[in-house]
Amino acid sequence: MPIPAIQWYPGHIAKAERQLQEQVKKVDVVLEVRDARIPFATYHPLLATWIGNKHKLLIVNRVDAIPPTVRELWAEWFVSQGEQPFFANAQQGTGVAAISKAAQSVGVAINQKRKERGMLPRPVRAVVIGFPNVGKSALINRLLNKRVVESARRAGVTKSLRWVRISDRLELLDAPGIIPGRLDDQAAAVKLAICDDIGEAGYDRQRISAALIELCQELGYVAGFEDRYGSIPTTLSGEEYLHQLANEKYRGDLERTSHLILNDFRTGVLGSIPLELPPKSNS
């Protein structure tokens, strides 16, 4: 498969990294959101350095977009790595109460220390961070129980910092921290593009939809293609299938067909499709 041309802007990345680090500095606990379809591609290798020894909660969002069996595999794998993941559907609010509770419980230890120093208790401070489009704003809205942060299918812009109180024990930065894309990993970048986590201007739609087809072949999630388009991309390459479908549906219009496939994947029309699976354990 040819390597798709993802374009990056180093200046923007440096600025986003600085902003994120500023936000992290101001809080006690970081709520890191990843996309359940691509938990690895929505992880940034420098994140641990940025977070330092602050508390972190790992939120695997869009759990509705993967099959329950795959969710279980990820749960086991994260636990084997010493992480305690919280699975959520921030759009519907599923799993959000447990996240709020876990964030508030971080405050217990903090206030115990404050008490020992003769200080009054204060709410624990948190920030939601993650790659674009993973569901940060939707999670913030659910935590706040109201719609104050704009949540939309597009790349976001961080606004000025403001605290919002969730309870007398928890305060949240109202602007999510955006983790900038990864320059160094093309395979991850392709998955981010497939999942709409990179602005459309940054990639070639035909190549990305061909890559999606091949990932579905590799992982064995092609049944939805048959239901939707009447054929399964088994023996064809991603590009060949794209051409075949374009000829059948849109008189060879590859752009339109690519748009259709990507949109069908993103909206779940092709079914629950994970684009990554956890590594198999050796035991």
Ligand X SMILES: Nc1nc2c(ncn2[C@@H]2O[C@H](COP(=O)(O)OP(=O)(O)OP(=O)(O)O)[C@@H](O)[C@H]2O)c(=O)[nH]1
Binding residue numbers: 61-64, 177
Q: Which is nearer to ligand X, 41 or 138 (by Cβ)?
A: 138
Classify residue 267 by burial, with Cβ atoms within 10 Å: 0-12, 13-18, 19+: exposed
| Feature table: binding site for GTP | 61-64, 177
Classify residue 258 by burial, with Cβ atoms within 10 Å: 0-12, 13-18, 19+: buried
Q: Which is nearer to ligand X, 87 or 225 (by Cβ)?
A: 87
- Rounded to the nearest whole angstrom, what is the least distance from the CB of residue 153 to ligand X in the complex? 4
User: Hey, is 140 helix, strand or coil?
Assistant: helix
User: Cβ distance 6 to 185 under 8 Å?
Assistant: no
Q: Is 134 a binder of ligand X (CB under 6 A)? A: yes
Question: Looking only at residues 102 through 131 of this chain, which bind ligand X when binding is defined by CB under 6 A?
Answer: 130
Q: Which is nearer to ligand X, 64 or 185 (by Cβ)?
A: 64
Binding mask 19-58 for ligand X (x = CB under 6 A): ----------------------------------------
- Rounded to the nearest whole angstrom, what is the least distance from the CB of residue 95 to ligand X in the complex? 9
- Rounded to the nearest whole angstrom, what is the least distance from the CB of residue 59 to ligand X in the complex? 10
Query: What is the C-alpha separation between 274 and 119, in angstroms, rounded?
Result: 48
Q: Is 64 a binder of ligand X (CB under 6 A)? A: yes
Residue 173 has phi, psi (to 5 degrees) of: -70, 130
The residue within the footprint of ligand X, chosen from 16, 44, 51, 61 (CB under 6 A), is 61
Among 99, 110, 89, smallest CA distance to 32 is for 99
**Which residue type does 104 have?**
Q
Among 6, 4, 39, smallest CA distance to 274 is for 39
Which region among 12-20, 76-84, 134-142, 167-175 touches ligand X (by CB under 6 A)?
A: 134-142
Q: Which is nearer to ligand X, 151 or 209 (by Cβ)?
A: 151
Q: Residues with Cβ < 8 Å from 190, sequence gap 6 or more?
A: 4, 6, 208, 211
Beta pairing partners, 32? 58, 129
- Rounded to the nearest whole angstrom, what is the least distance from the CB of residue 199 to ligand X in the complex? 9
Token pair, residue 281, equals 């354990």
**Which residue type does 54 have?**
K
Binding mask 165-184 for ligand X (x = CB under 6 A): -----------x-x------
The residue within the footprint of ligand X, chosen from 102, 110, 155, 232 (CB under 6 A), is 155
- Rounded to the nearest whole angstrom, what is the least distance from the CB of residue 152 to ligand X in the complex? 5
Q: Which is nearer to ligand X, 249 or 266 (by Cβ)?
A: 266
The residue within the footprint of ligand X, chosen from 70, 90, 254, 275 (CB under 6 A), is 90
User: Cβ distance 255 to 245 under 8 Å?
Assistant: no
| E-state strands within 98-226 | 124-130, 163-167, 170-173, 177-178
Q: Is 137 a binder of ligand X (CB under 6 A)? A: yes
Contacting residues toward ligand X, per CB under 6 A:
61-62, 64-65, 89-91, 130, 132-138, 151-156, 176, 178
